[in-house]
Amino acid sequence: MHIRILEQFSRSGKHPVFLLVIAMLMIAGNKPCYAEDKVVLIAAKGSGIESISNRDIRRVFLGLKSADSDFVNKPVINLYNRELYEDFLKNVMHMTEGTYKRKIVKRIFRNGTEEIKEVKMLDELNTHLTSNIGDISFVYNDVAEKMHDIEVVKVLW
Amino acid sequence: MAEVQGKGVQKLLAVVLVFTILFICKPSLADIKLNGFGSVAIGTVVEGEEFLADYPKTGIYNNDLSLDPDTTLGLQLSSYFTDKFSLIAQLAVHGASDYDPEIDWLYLNYYLTPELSVQAGRKRLPLYYYSDYFDVGYAYYWIRPPPDVYTWQITNYNGVSLLYETALGQWDANLNLYYGSEESEDNDLLSLLFDASVDETWKNMIGIVGTMSNNWLELRLTHMHGLIDRKISGVSVINDIEQQFLGISVNFTFDSLLILSEFNNYRQPENDVEYNAYLISFGYQIGKLTPHITRSSFKQEINVLGNDEQHYTTSVGLRWDVVDNIAVKVQYDDVVDEGVIVPVKGDSSSISFAVDFVF
């Protein structure tokens, strides 16, 4: 139906602003809306991680040891949702993806540290965290609630 | 079009083949990690005669297209015996060194505490900001760190080091103390400059490197003190002469804007040798593109021997992050060589292209 309306307006060419608004609404409608969702730091249940500052999360995701908790092990980058990953870099790491990648590469070749694990599937993330107690990652809160044997360590934003 | 110059194109192709296989199917064992890096670069001098792009390995571009000066391929093996104890080895081939394999890193690492580790073996000499990953082109936006600043003839040392990494409030801090020495027979850079075979030994090197960084600012201070022995054509010309190196780097990251700077001072007080070098660079990330502009300079004070090495470079370039671990770069370098008694390679303008990758 809306396609026919669009065709009608595009033929007449009288309402370009209206067309633009419709196009924007269609784009917005196809985009997953997570603006209202909280983003949380997660670990396996029983990890023992009680509190960790955003500053310390940044350190851990740069490949450094946690200064806040002995129970924090390794970070896992969640690439299931690209927008979430970019928001995490912006809100927690305070850097662009390019800068982050280069920092990690520097550390690998300067200190011989391990690469930071990346996962693209939520099932894989769930399995990894429950198999590696103390590893941490980030997901939307509603996603965390659906994962098995996972606890929320902290609300990130 | 001029024929591509290469000291060992066949050797390079063989190495590229091995790297391609490793890049596609990266092997991984439970406690052994393999990482690789590479820069395949091609360039030419468009005005002038020669451009010394890589001082330590004497990678020189001329009026022909050449693959050798900046092409580097390397493999790093990290073997974790336990959570605390590991072996790090890095093997690299450089076009400027005729693609002969060289061991740049080979050391044992042991974590005494989560924040304090000790290393023993062969490491990069951490004089400059980019010393540790000088060969890993993917880690910076230039095709090579500005040559005016990276004029070191000794790039590694054998010895021990202590690394302390901690958090101080809103800052990440690390302190690196090291002690060691390095001998270089027929040193590439000095043999080029003196036009004779030069053996160089840096010994009793004691150094300290301190770094502080937060979300937008990184400060690095480095100091090294040691002794030099030098033989030219087998004749000892320097023996137990003191040398000192002092360097400071200040880097800013304002969201997409990058401002990088480095200032170094090198002295041999007994020989009246002193030089200052600096770089200042601006880069701006626009999505996957990073255009950048850099000014660098090297100036040696005139001493009793009349040495007056002076040159500066203006570079503009573009880095394009094609995919996650591959970057394509293009760069234009304009060198002005003001040395009268010690000119390096004269004025030049050159253009180079590179593909950098890590895996």
Closest-CA distance, A130 to chain B, in angstroms, reads 19
Q: How many CB atoms lie within 10 A of CB A37?
A: 15
Q: What distance in Å separates the CA atoms of residue B167 and residue B170, rounded to the nearest whole number? A: 7
For residue B102, list its beta bridge partners.
Answer: B92
Q: Are B94 and A113 in contact (CB under 8 A)?
A: no
User: Which pLDDT belongs to residue A94?
Assistant: 86
Q: Would residue B309 count as lying in a domain?
A: yes
- Tell me the pLDDT tens digit for each residue of B74-108: 999 998 888 888 999 999 999 999 999 999 999 99
Contacts A91 to B, Cβ<8 Å:
none
At A70, is the pLDDT very low, low, confident or very high (cuts 50, 70, 90)? confident
At B338, is the pLDDT very low, low, confident or very high (cuts 50, 70, 90)? confident
DSSP collapsed to 3 states, chain A: CHHHHHHHHHHHCCCHHHHHHHHHHHHHHHCCCCCCCCEEEEEECCCCCCCCCHHHHHHHHCCCCCCCCCCCCCEEEECCCHHHHHHHHHHHHCCCHHHHHHHHHHHHHHHCCCCCEEECCHHHHHHHHHHCCCCEEEEEHHHHHHCCCEEEEEECC
Q: Would residue B252 count as lying in a domain?
A: yes
Q: Would residue B285 count as lying in a domain?
A: yes
Total tally of structural domains belonging to chain B: 1
- Tell me: pLDDT of B61 over 80: yes
Q: Determine the 3-state secondary structure of B13 from DSSP.
A: helix
Q: How far is CA B220 from the centre of its chain?
A: 16
State what percent of residues in chain B have pLDDT above 70.
90
Q: Is A39-155 CATH 3.40.190.10? A: yes
Nearest residue to B169 via CA among A95, A56, A49: A56
At B118, is the pLDDT very low, low, confident or very high (cuts 50, 70, 90)? very high
- Tell me the pLDDT tens digit for each residue of B225-254: 999 999 999 999 999 999 999 999 999 998
Partner-chain contact A98 B215, CB within 8 Å? no
Q: What distance in Å separates the CA atoms of residue B294 and residue B261, rounded to the nearest whole number? A: 9
Q: Would residue B286 count as lying in a domain?
A: yes
- Among A84-98, A127-141, B164-178, the range of highest mean pLDDT: A127-141
ipTM confidence score: 0.79
Partner-chain contact A99 B253, CB within 8 Å? yes
Question: Domain containing B70: what range?
Answer: 9-358
- Tell me: pLDDT of A24 over 60: no
Domain ranges of chain A: 1-31, 39-155
Q: Would residue B319 count as lying in a domain?
A: yes
Asked if B136 reaches chain A (Cβ–Cβ under 8 Å), the answer is yes
Partner-chain contact B321 A98, CB within 8 Å? yes
Q: What distance in Å separates the CA atoms of residue B254 and residue B220, rounded to the nearest whole number? A: 18
Lowest mean pLDDT among A78-87, B166-175, B300-309: B300-309
**Which of A58, A105, A112 is opposite residue B109, by nearest beta carbon?**
A112
Average pLDDT over chain B reads: 91
- Tell me: pLDDT of B32 over 60: yes
Q: Would residue B4 count as lying in a domain?
A: no
CATH of the domain at B142: 2.40.160.10
- Tell me the pLDDT tens digit for each residue of B259-273: 999 999 999 999 888
State what percent of residues in chain B have pLDDT above 90.
75
Q: Would residue B129 count as lying in a domain?
A: yes
**Closest chain B residue to A55 measured between Cα atoms?**
B170
